[in-house]
Structure 1
Amino acid sequence: MKRNNFLVSMLQMTGLAPRFTPYTLSFTRRRRVMLQESPLAGYQYHRAASIWPFLQVGEQLHLKREPSNPHDPYAIAVWFKNEHLGYIPRRENRTLARLLDQGELLETTIVRLLEEENPWRKIRFRVEWLHQ
């Protein structure tokens, strides 16, 4: 595979490059729609405290739905790499859960880190919907 074809195919898989068809050339652009900013719930119960030194503002986080969670059917876990940090707060997760269940692409980024005793104030993140 030629280098350019490889790069285009890799970018297409992430939704960042134009999609080519044999007869037409069309560009797919995604709009970013900011859905919410939230504190991290459950900081003290998961791995957030142990990986605190590795977190930085601007870092990408990953969301994973947990529809079989016994405490909340709309639960969404927040992960940094392979470490479970906590959850999206229960009072703020229904819309995001529905979007994730529909296969929508959501991007989550750390927007604030504070050295606080209150675990609800330590990590704040933003969730954006990458919408076509």
Structure 2
Amino acid sequence: MNRRSFLSTLTALLGAGGASAATLSLGGQSNTEHRIELLRSPIAGFQYHDGETVWSQLRVADALQLIREADNVHDPRAVRVEWQGHILGYVPRLDNATISYLLDHQQNLQAYITALEESRNPWQRVTFTVHLAT
């Protein structure tokens, strides 16, 4: 899905409250709950927070919490990523505009761990995905 069609679909879903998405099929899968993948990314700042402490407990498909930090002095669009109350890091600054906007407008976003890799590079340790549930 290219950016233009993604934004058109997203706008239509948000404007219609998701009601028009009854036949939406993503990735060749058809579900009763429809999800639109908004972001697949590494977690920014993983090395500065609780990531190493909880590394051995993290599993692919674990749910993550997205917490909006509108008062963050470094980035007014900051979105913190947590796992079971532990701060893992942030949605990368270059990718957080849409996610922060949707959180500010109380949209149903779901985030999950999609890959774990034992790497010395903190940008390769945890990959997560954010979906908009419709």
Give the TM-score, by structure 2 length.
Answer: 0.75
Distance 2:85 2:39 in 1: 23
Q: Which residue of 54, 58, 69 corresponds with 1:55?
A: 58
Report the CA distance shift for 1:30/1:102 in structure 2 as closer, same or farther (over 3 A): farther
1:115 maps to which residue?
118
Structure 2 regions of 5+ residues with no counterpart?
A: 1-31
Q: How does 1:19-98 map to 2 (within 5 A)?
A: 30-98=33-101
Structure with the higher strand share, 1 or 2: 1
Number of residue pairs aligned between Structure 1 and Structure 2: 103
Q: CA RMSD in A?
A: 0.9
Which of the pair has more CA radius of gyration?
1
Q: 1:104 and 2:104 equivalent?
A: no
- Please list the CA deviations of residues 64-89 of structure 1 after superposition, one character each: whole Å capped at 9, or x if unmatched: 00000000000000000110110000
Offset of residue 36 of structure 1: 1.1
5+ residue gaps, structure 1, are 1-28
Distance 1:115 1:121 in 2: 8
Q: For 1:105 and 1:53, how far apart are their aligned partners in 2?
A: 29
Q: Aligned with 1:127: secondary structure?
A: strand
After TM superposition, give the deviation of residue 30 of structure 1 in Å.
4.3
